[in-house]
Amino acid sequence: MLNFKNTLLTTLLLTCGAALAAPETYTIDSSHTYPSFKAAHIGGISFWRGKIDKNSGAVVLDRAAKTGSIEIVMDMTSIDFGHEKMNEHAKKDEIFDVAKFPTATYKSTKLIFSGDTLTGVDGNLTLHGVTKPVHLTVNQFKCIPHPFYKREVCGADASAAIDRTDFGVSYGVGKAIPDGKVTLEIQVEALKDEAAGPAG
């Protein structure tokens, strides 16, 4: 009888532990998520900033195991510099060629934690049909109960530096523009998915 109780207790503890450590999925709130970028303009006299207005994706977190995944899909047809002629030019084949490459994606390969805090992400950025590894520094990461949706929401600000010529986007580099350096910044919020209810 004692062995049965011990076995039952062990099973319950393992089951509870597995439940607590289960990965949790969050869907990106596209209305509060804006991948943006900063790049030099004509001769480096100023920096122009733009953003991608339409995006989607998901985040999976296993806090106990300190693992997970992130995927963001960016609609390059929604690129916005706040300047209509520049928007039109950026979409043409000599720059982003959105007719041929309408989306860009970032997919994580590893989440990096310091204690319980997410501090970085290793992953691959696919832009203009080219995939390259890009490390994101997570400058802030926080999860709270959402005041309206009554679900957990997580938010982060992340940044990275890339060279756009690595992705075949070299328009103006070495002529009107000194180099292809671009600063990426991603403001992201994601809502925890609701648990599925019982079938019936």
Question: Counting beta carbons within 10 angstroms of the beta carbon of residue 54, is it exposed (0 to 12), middle (13 to 18) or buried (19 or more)?
Answer: middle
- What residue ranges do the domains of the chain occupy? 23-192
Distances from the Cα of 29 to the Cα of 59, 114, 129, 152, 200, angstroms = 11, 25, 25, 12, 30
What percent of the chain stands above pLDDT 90?
75
CB atoms within 10 A of CB 119: 16
Whole-number pLDDT of residue 21: 57
User: Is pLDDT of 198 > 50?
Assistant: no
Alpha carbon of residue 173 to chain centroid = 27
Average pLDDT over residues 6-18: 44
- pLDDT tens readout for residues 26-41: 999 999 999 999 998 8
What is this structure's pTM?
A: 0.84
- pLDDT tens readout for residues 135-186: 999 999 999 999 998 899 999 999 999 999 999 999 999 888 889 999 999 9
- pLDDT tens readout for residues 78-118: 999 999 999 999 999 999 999 999 999 999 999 999 998 99
Whole-number pLDDT of residue 12: 43
Whole-number pLDDT of residue 44: 81
The CATH class, in words, for 23-192 is mainly beta
- pLDDT tens readout for residues 14-26: 444 444 558 999 9
